[in-house]
């Protein structure tokens, strides 16, 4: 790994394209030096200049994550391609320190006629792995990509999801110092996206990440700082929170006009309004969403020590045992996790966490509160199970995964024996939860005018 504290330095960067109205103009331009040499007065240009990037300067320290935001055509991909050395700048300079691996737009990086296996080997070697390193990591890359027999098909037959799986699997195994990810993760399914997010979060501890996204929640969640590009120029470079907010505000204003002012609300001393009505017990607005659970133990990824393993994860409605069916949010559920001990466990712990698309932990629990009061030992070759009864929160649309785990020990000193990352997938659609990570049912919503005095 490079020891330079600066990973990326961009100075006065500009990228100029020459736009020709017709192919004929391109030919005339090609011939213009000859014409100009013969008749200097006839010399002219046949193109229009277009600056995709202008006068861009910023620096990124090693280990930091930078988000890049901006509308379509603002220059984000151009910047990434220059940083990765795929495009040459017209002006200025980019200095990078360390090995760069990039997941750019679909279609770049692989030869469509070659098989996945051939592309894997070619790409890994272009990214700096020796033949023996490729051989050592080959099985891990295949397991990460998880595209089965398609690995021996030409990549031109791949779906966009399979393409990204293979491309990401390669860049995740080349010991990159700088990772560049351009929106491509959006095409992966929930389980694969989770796998990538786990890798990205682990990578953030050791490497530098450039992350282009139109998802401001993702930018705020993943990145310390961000740059906002507009028509190739830098509008703002600063903490991701404020850059994303300012970008969103500007986007809203461009849609709704300047009357949209999202000024921060100062706290105002005001007399609290009298409670206008007695809150009713029942929610007044139907926030129900459609949520479908699918178990996928056979495809779940993770790791185990061999001393204990999860053998079952089942979810059902507490009041209608047998099948979770379609869930709406806020109903009582029963989650059962079953495990088998392959060695004696002194203080077994079973637990789960529900994660969103960015791999953020939403909520979870384990059996420690129970075993603290009722110490329980499990002998080798026995199965044991935990039951968690809880109310499902209302969730925004999207896919969620449930991680189940078995460990042995106590709160401060425990050994994980099996961590199963994607035991179930929960797909939520038609949710009316708009803000935040979860919703709650409101028992009262009203709008009233104040009395005029
Ligand atoms: N080879 C090219 N010749 C001329 N113009 C180009 C070329 N490549 C890109 N551009 C222009 O440069 C500008 C920036 O493009 P770029 O792909 O970097 O934008 P972007 O911010 O990544 O957009 P998106 O969010 O849609 O991916 C666009 O106006 C695009 O049309």
Q: Which residue has better confidence, 391 or 263?
A: 391
58 and 204 together in one domain: yes
Average pLDDT, the chain: 84
Q: What CATH number does residue 220 fall under?
A: 3.40.50.300
Q: State the pLDDT at residue 294.
A: 76
Would you tell me the crossing angle of helices 160-171 and 131-145 to the nearest 10 degrees? 140
DSSP tag of 394? B
272 lies in a domain? no
192 and 309 together in one domain: no
Q: Say how many domains are in the chain.
A: 2
User: Which of the listed residues 52, 67, 87 should we mutate to test ligand 1's pocket, taking the one with most ligand atoms within 8 A of CB?
Assistant: 52
224 and 88 together in one domain: yes
In this model, does residue 417 exceed pLDDT 70?
yes
101 lies in a domain? yes
What's the gap in Å between 169 CA and the centre of ligand 1? 27
pLDDT digits (tens, 9 = 90+) for 3-53: 668 999 999 999 999 888 888 888 887 887 777 777 777 677 788 889 999
Q: Which residue has better confidence, 153 or 319?
A: 153
450 lies in a domain? no
Q: Which residue has better confidence, 229 or 42?
A: 229
Q: Would you call 333 exposed, middle or buried from its count of C-beta atoms within 10 A (0-12, 13-18, 19+)?
A: middle
93 and 11 together in one domain: yes
What's the gap in Å between 90 CA and the centre of ligand 1? 15
Q: pLDDT-derived band of residue 361, with 50, 70 and 90 as boundaries?
A: confident
196-210 per-residue burial string, b: 16 or more CB within 10 A, e: under 16: bbbbbeebbeebbbb
Q: pLDDT-derived band of residue 266, with 50, 70 and 90 as boundaries?
A: very low
308 and 402 together in one domain: yes
247 and 307 together in one domain: no
User: Which of the listed residues 76, 214, 216, 233 should we mutate to test ligand 1's pocket, taking the one with most ligand atoms within 8 A of CB?
Assistant: 76
Q: State the pLDDT at residue 259.
A: 55
From 392, 394, 396, select the one nearest 440 (Cα to Cα).
Answer: 394
What's the gap in Å between 78 CA and the centre of ligand 1? 6
Q: Which residue has better confidence, 190 or 164?
A: 164
Which token pair is 298?
Answer: 């056979």
pTM of the model: 0.72
41 and 128 together in one domain: yes
What's the gap in Å between 106 CA and the centre of ligand 1? 15
Q: What share of the chain in percent tops pLDDT 90?
A: 41
Contact 357, 193 (CB under 8 A): yes
Q: State the pLDDT at residue 107.
A: 56
Report which ligand 1 atom has the smallest distance to the Cα of 79. Answer: 18
Ligand 1 pocket, CB under 6 A: 17, 19, 50, 52, 70, 72-78
Query: What would the mean pLDDT of 72-82 be, rounded to a whole number?
Result: 93
In this model, does residue 264 exceed pLDDT 50?
no
Contacts of 215 (CB under 8 A, 6+ apart): 186
What's the gap in Å between 82 CA and the centre of ligand 1? 12
DSSP tag of 158? -
What's the gap in Å between 58 CA and the centre of ligand 1? 20
334 and 200 together in one domain: no
120 and 192 together in one domain: yes
Q: State the pLDDT at residue 4.
A: 65
319 and 384 together in one domain: yes
- Residue nearest atom 3 of ligand 1, based on CA coordinates: 17
21 and 87 together in one domain: yes
The interface predicted TM-score (ipTM) is 0.96
- Residue nearest atom 16 of ligand 1, based on CA coordinates: 75
271 lies in a domain? no
20 and 146 together in one domain: yes
Query: What would the mean pLDDT of 182-205 be, rounded to a whole number?
Result: 80
Domain enclosing residue 12, as ranges: 6-254
335 lies in a domain? yes
279 lies in a domain? no
339 lies in a domain? yes
What's the gap in Å between 190 CA and the centre of ligand 1? 29
In this model, does residue 194 exceed pLDDT 80?
yes
Q: Which residue has better confidence, 267 or 89?
A: 89
Q: State the pLDDT at residue 286.
A: 62
Q: What CATH number does residue 311 fall under?
A: 2.70.50.60
- Residue nearest atom 1 of ligand 1, based on CA coordinates: 17
129 lies in a domain? yes
What's the gap in Å between 72 CA and the centre of ligand 1? 8
């Amino acid at each position: 790994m490079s020891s330079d504290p600066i990973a990326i330095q961009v100075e006065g960067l500009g990228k100029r394209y020459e736009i020709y109205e017709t192919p004929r103009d391109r030919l005339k331009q090609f011939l213009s030096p000859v014409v100009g040499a013969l008749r200097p007065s006839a010399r002219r240009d046949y193109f229009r200049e277009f600056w995709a990037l202008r006068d861009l300067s910023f620096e990124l320290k090693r280990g930091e994550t930078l988000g890049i935001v901006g509308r379509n055509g603002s220059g984000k991909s151009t910047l990434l391609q220059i940083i990765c050395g795929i495009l040459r700048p017209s002006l200025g300079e980019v200095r990078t320190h360390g090995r760069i691996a990039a997941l750019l737009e679909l279609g770049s990086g692989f030869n469509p006629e070659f098989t996945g296996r051939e592309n894997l080997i070619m790409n890994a070697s272009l990214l700096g792995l020796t033949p023996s390193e490729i051989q050592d990591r080959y099985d891990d890359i295949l397991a990460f990509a998880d595209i089965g027999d398609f690995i021996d098909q030409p990549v031109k037959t791949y779906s966009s999801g399979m393409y990204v799986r293979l491309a990401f699997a390669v860049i995740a195994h080349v010991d990159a110092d700088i990772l560049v990810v351009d929106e491509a993760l959006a095409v992966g399914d929930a389980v694969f996206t989770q796998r990538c997010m786990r890798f990205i979060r682990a990578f953030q501890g050791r490497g530098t990440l450039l992350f282009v996204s139109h998802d401001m929640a993702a930018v705020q969640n993943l990145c310390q700082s961000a740059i906002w590009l507009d028509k190739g120029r830098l509008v703002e470079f600063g903490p991701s929170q404020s850059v994303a907010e300012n970008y969103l505000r500007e986007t809203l204003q461009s849609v709704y006009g300047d009357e949209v002012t999202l000024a921060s609300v100062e706290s105002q001393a005001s007399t609290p309004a009298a409670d206008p009505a007695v809150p009713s017990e029942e929610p007044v607005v139907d926030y129900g969403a459609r949520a479908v659970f699918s178990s996928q133990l056979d495809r779940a990824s993770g790791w185990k020590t061999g001393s204990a393993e999860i053998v079952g994860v089942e979810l059902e409605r507490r009041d209608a045992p047998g099948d979770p069916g379609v869930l709406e949010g806020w109903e009582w559920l029963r989650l059962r996790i079953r495990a088998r001990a392959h060695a004696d466990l002194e203080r077994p712990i079973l637990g789960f966490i529900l994660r969103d698309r960015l791999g953020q932990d939403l909520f979870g629990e384990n059996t420690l509160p129970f075993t603290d009061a009722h110490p329980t030992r499990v002998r080798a070759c026995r199965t044991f199970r935990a039951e968690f009864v809880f109310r499902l929160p209302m969730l925004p649309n999207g896919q969620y995964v449930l991680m189940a785990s078995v460990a042995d020990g106590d709160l401060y000193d425990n050994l994980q024996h099996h961590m199963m990352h994607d035991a179930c997938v929960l797909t939520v659609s038609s949710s009316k939860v708009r803000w935040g990570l979860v919703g709650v049912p409101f028992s009262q919503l009203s709008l009233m005018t104040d009395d005029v005095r």
